[in-house]
């Protein structure tokens, strides 16, 4: 395979990967919406609507089928066999972690506002969806550091080496020492203002995961520059 063909293959695979990720993100949002609607109906906050349930079900199944259609295929396997693939995969993974970590800060602020609404007794379907999305994101950051997410498992042979394990240990240590004091401070503050402590908890959870993710990504970037 010549260089031009390899670039074309990489471009097609990048577009396929982008469509796949978008489908998964939208699917996760729709599933969260399904849960919020079901919770609202069960609580009597919204009247049961068979049409709405059917529409949400069709959309969910359609998005799941779309994600499967844009999943990795023969071109991805061809690309994985090319020399130099490890470096490009690790570089793309580092960029992804930086983007996810920074953009998740916005969701954290939104979750804090909605946490305040829940503490005040205002439980709307949109609030439930935001809180569920934040809870998923809070688990996603450390899962990416540990290599437990779907993409990391699919590309394990490119993302797992001795240096990565060393960086992972340092990153987890950093996240732990950010999370632990934060939780202790929120606990002490919550003894006097428990409602405000609940509102601050998303910030502490994000800070712990973000610290680990950023340290992991920056260590990889430093190693890339040294090479």
Q: How confident is the model at residue 220 (pLDDT cuts 50, 70, 90)?
A: confident
pLDDT (tens digit per residue) in 37-80? 666 666 666 566 667 667 777 777 887 787 777 666 565 555 55
The predicted model scores a pTM of 0.65
Closest CA to 216 of 171, 164, 159, 160: 171
> What pLDDT score does 76 carry?
58
Question: What letter would DSSP give residue 92?
Answer: H
Can you give the residue ranges of every domain in the chain?
A: 1-82, 85-227
pLDDT (tens digit per residue) in 112-121? 888 877 777 7
Pick the range with the lowest mean pLDDT from 9-18, 107-116, 148-157.
9-18
What is the 3-state secondary structure of 153-213?
Answer: HHCHHHHCCHHHHHHHHHHHHHHHHHHHHHHHHHHHHHCCCHHHHHHHHHHHHHHHHHHHH
pLDDT (tens digit per residue) in 174-191? 999 999 999 999 999 989
């Amino acid at each position: 395979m010549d260089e031009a063909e390899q670039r074309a293959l990489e471009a097609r695979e990048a577009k396929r990967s982008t469509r796949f990720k978008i489908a998964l993100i939208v699917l996760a949002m729709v599933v969260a919406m399904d849960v919020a609607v079901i919770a609202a109906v069960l609580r009597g906050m919204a009247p049961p609507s068979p049409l709405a349930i059917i529409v949400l079900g069709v959309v969910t199944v359609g998005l799941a089928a779309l994600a499967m259609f844009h999943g990795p295929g023969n071109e991805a396997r061809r690309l994985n066999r090319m020399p130099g693939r490890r470096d490009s995969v690790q570089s793309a993974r580092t960029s992804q972690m930086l983007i996810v970590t920074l953009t998740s800060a916005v969701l954290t602020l939104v979750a804090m506002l909605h946490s305040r609404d829940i503490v005040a007794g205002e439980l709307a379907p949109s609030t439930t969806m935001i809180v569920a999305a934040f809870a998923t994101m809070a688990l996603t950051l450390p899962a990416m550091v540990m290599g437990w997410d779907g993409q990391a498992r699919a590309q394990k042979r490119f993302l797992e080496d001795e240096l990565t394990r060393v960086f992972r240990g340092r990153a987890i240590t950093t996240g732990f020492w950010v999370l632990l004091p934060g939780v202790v401070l929120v606990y002490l503050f919550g003894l006097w203002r428990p409602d405000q402590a609940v509102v601050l908890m998303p910030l502490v959870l994000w800070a712990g995961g973000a610290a680990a993710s950023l340290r992991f990504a920056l260590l990889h970037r430093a190693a890339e520059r040294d090479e």
